[in-house]
Chain A
Amino acid sequence: MPNSTNSANAAAAADDRSIMIEARDITKAFNGIQVLEGVSLTLRKGEVVAIIGPSGSGKSTFLRCLNHLEIIDGGSITIEGEPLATAVPGGPSRYAGDADVRRICRKMGMVFQSFNLFPHMTVLQNIIEAPMTVKRQPRSIAVPKAEALLRKVGLQVKRDNYPGRLSGGQKQRVAIARALAMEPDIMLFDEPTSALDPELTVEVLRTMRQLAEEHMTMLVVTHEMGFAREVAHRVIFMDQGRIVESADSARFFSAPQHERTRAFLGQML
């Protein structure tokens, strides 16, 4: 199969891009139930990777492990060359010190299914909060940056509204702007459109697509097959705590290799 050799070579050439996230053999159990059974991932600069799979497949848990919202049992996580968690043979992974963990995780922004906006703060305050308290940015710098981000997500008119007054789609775009305000190198999306009505999903996906076009490194757990197919470079299919299949998105959808993947896609499409 000369064709696949060529594409493998092309992939190898593209692999010169620096590695942003390197996760090796991540294992994780909740109350004795194994949720992740050795999940590995390499995410390179500028790459957009979609993780799909049925509920309970561990895809969200895996994403949350990457920025320390969950503690892994085994395996290692390296972010831009810095070890967040190191594998220890026969024991639980060893994490970096608290200060290092926070510093390393700051390279990643995260967008949640449930938005998690701060309800007692206006849209603008939500966006400038972390730059001001964490990065100690003066207000005079944080505010114009926040306003630029609001323009980018098309919500400058909502600047002084409270999140309670926004639609789900608007909330999620504010959440994206808020994460971007910390100037992360990587954006993690945990089912960003799953809580939204279909017509509101569109505006959020448009914003994410725009980010992808600006070469943001993105890892997206999603049920949006359209987004995975059109925007993601690579698609990972997870089931029962394992990665079943990982392929270029075109190939993933046109020629899924595994029976389980085909069955899942058959349900979704």
Chain B
Amino acid sequence: MGDSLSMDYVLSLIGPMAEGAKVTLSLFFITLFLSLPLGLALALARISSWTLLSTAVNGYIWLMRGTPLMLQLLFVYFALPFVPVIGIRLPDFPSAVVAFALNYAAYFAEIFRAGIQSVDRGQYEGSKALGMSYLQTLRRIVLPQMVRRVLPPMSNETITLVKDTSLIYVLALNDILRTARGIVQRDFTTTPFLVAAAFYLLMTLVLTWLFQRMEKRYAKFDE
């Protein structure tokens, strides 16, 4: 084996690392796809005037934010099969998806709630005075204004998600980081860690750019 920092060696890592990136990105996108709508539903339930519902959601958010994601991951994979009634045995990747989606939904719910509650009461009154229903008001007036305000915290949270995906190594899933670690142990060089870092940086760069674009698009109106 040649110089561990040679271009040839680094290039030889791209292939296996890209395989790892597939796992990382799958988990990232599926988690977003599930947790965004779930988070919105939780946020609406949290601010609903139905106390029972909002208290239950409050408890859920406390549970999800109050325990480590790693613990939740392990719980879904190892302990969930033994839970009565809802007990179900899931393969490794679906277990990760369930844990990540449930966890991130709780964080997104709080971001959405803050965004919804930051919309001026006058917007609801203006809509109501025009004959719009609560649902129409939410969909047409409140949520579009919320989106703009939650973009910065959402950007934070999704970037955190990119990196949190590395936790799935505990389920022996070969994401970017676990792949890198495997190669480090095989080749006795830490170069794969640098390549892994480059992969994560590239992903967060794309995300940052996307969010900046969205922020610009939504900033076309000045409040």
Contacts and interface: CB of A to CB of B under 8 A. Distances in A.
A68 interface: yes
B125 interface: yes
Interface in A103-129: 105-106, 108-110, 112, 114-121, 129
Contact of B125 (A116, A118, A164, A182): A116
B125 A112 contact: yes
B134 to A, nearest CB: 10
A106 B129 CA distance: 7
Interface in B124-145: 125-133, 136, 140-141, 144-145
Contacts of B130: 109, 129-130, 134, 178-179, 182
With most chain A CB atoms within 10 A of its CB, the pick from B136, B144, B221 is: B221
Nearest to B121: A116
Contacts of A164: 221-223
A68 B144 CA distance: 25
Contact of A109 (B129, B132, B140): B129
Nearest to B123: A116
A162 B129 contact: no
Give the interface residue-count category, chain A.
Answer: 20 to 34
A133 B125 contact: no
B122 interface: yes
A67 interface: yes
A69 interface: yes
Contacts of B186: none
A105 B148 contact: no
A69 B216 CA distance: 35
Contacts of A178: 130
Contacts of A112: 122, 125-126, 129
By secondary structure, the A interface counts as loop
A84 to B, nearest CB: 14
A165 interface: yes
Contacts, number: 71
A133 B126 CA distance: 14
A102 interface: yes
A105 B136 CA distance: 16
Give the interface residue-count category, chain B.
Answer: 20 to 34
Contact of A69 (B128, B131, B133, B144): B128
A62 to B, nearest CB: 15
A165 B136 contact: no
B131 A106 contact: yes
Contacts of A179: 129-130
A171 to B, nearest CB: 12
B122 A114 contact: yes
A117 B126 contact: yes
Contacts of B120: 116
A259 B223 CA distance: 45
A102 B127 CA distance: 12
B132 A119 contact: no
A179 B130 CA distance: 7
Contact of B223 (A105, A114, A119): A119
Contacts of A182: 130-131
Contacts of A134: 130-132, 136
Given A102-B131, A112-B125, A133 B140 contact: yes
Contacts of B125: 69, 112, 116
Interface of A: 67-69, 102, 105-106, 108-110, 112, 114-121, 129-130, 133-135, 162-165, 175, 178-179, 182
Interface of B: 120, 122-123, 125-133, 136, 140-141, 144-145, 148, 218, 220-223
21 contacts: A67-B129, A68-B128, A105-B129, A105-B131, A112-B125, A112-B129, A116-B126, A116-B129, A118-B145, A120-B148, A120-B218, A120-B221, A129-B130, A130-B130, A130-B131, A133-B132, A134-B136, A162-B222, A163-B221, A164-B221, A182-B131
Given A119-B223, A135-B131, 9 more contacts: A69-B125, A112-B129, A116-B123, A119-B145, A133-B132, A164-B222, A164-B223, A165-B222, A179-B130
- 7 cross-chain pairs, A with B, having the tightest CB-CB distances, nearest first: A116-B126, A164-B222, A130-B130, A162-B221, A110-B129, A116-B122, A106-B131
